[in-house]
Structure 1
């Protein structure tokens, strides 16, 4: 073996097994809008000013040129640049809870299938993802919904593409 061969990282190796993520459609109920955005359809003019100021480069656009968050490109740091740049009445004040999102881990998760992987837990800035070992050598991925901010760091880090993030569905009471 040559001494100058490049060593492949665990993330690079596991990324080979990742499937291509689904793209966003024009449907408004299943896309994630920028943090603190409200009623995009009524207030957004589609000017596109929010995307260039995003330091993470995660803002893309739907078919109506309305902003959509693409967590496959990285995580949201909640810097508020998109909200501060917008001249329209699209964003609430960038304080408080930025959005209500559901995080789910699919059955193809490497850790849940007995393959050592801690990628999502390692990158979570809030330590909202735990992967405690279980009897039999398999681990279980546990998302602490109270600690999770919905930043999306886990989604882009997952080599199995097992994490999905979606807008929280309203639950009926009673």
Structure 2
């Protein structure tokens, strides 16, 4: 069993919140049983699954096509029972926009909204300002398309 609270002891880094694959049952099952065989990395249609800390696969929205298509290929090729059934929600992550967003700093930008296929990011017109981004958290699937499209890395995934 991996003690994640102690992972940064020798690297002087805080334990990171890495984006795990969709449909993972739980963190402990994942780290205890994942063989790090890279079958999920090879099967990912959008190439967002990469080797992360300790060789464990993680989702990196700044890699490949920059979004998860929720194709379930990672779960189907996995030799271990790490995944929930496909009919369940893949994860409960949603996008959030931090204060470094250039639209929030009154510079015209709508790249996150342009990347959001399901239109969970809209823009509200403001008097004396550029349109401000609004994320509809009910509609956000957490696919990550908005992350790779942001020119200032102002978007991250959170668990509400």
TM-score range normalised by the length of the shorter chain: 0.7 to 0.9
| Corresponding position of 1:118 | 110
| Corresponding position of 2:17 | 30
- 155-164 vs 108-117, which deviates more? 108-117
| Corresponding position of 1:71 | 61
Aligned length: 143
> Which has the higher Rg, Structure 1 or Structure 2?
1
Q: Alpha-carbon deviations, 1:38-63, whole Å to 9, x = none?
A: 23112211111100111111111223
Higher relative contact order (CA 8 A, sep 6+): 1
Give the root-mean-square deviation of aligned CA atoms.
1.7
- In structure 2, the gaps of 5 or more residues are 1-12
- In structure 1, the gaps of 5 or more residues are 1-24, 170-174
| Structure 1 consecutive aligned stretches of length 4 or more whose deviation exceeds 6 Å | none
TM-score (norm 1): 0.76
Show the 5 A alignment for 1:21-100: 27=15, 30-39=17-26, 40-73=30-63, 74-100=66-92
Does the Cα contact within 8 Å between 2:112 and 2:147 map onto a contact in 1?
yes
Q: Alpha-carbon deviations, 1:78-125, whole Å to 9, x = none?
A: 011101111101111122310011422111211112211111011101
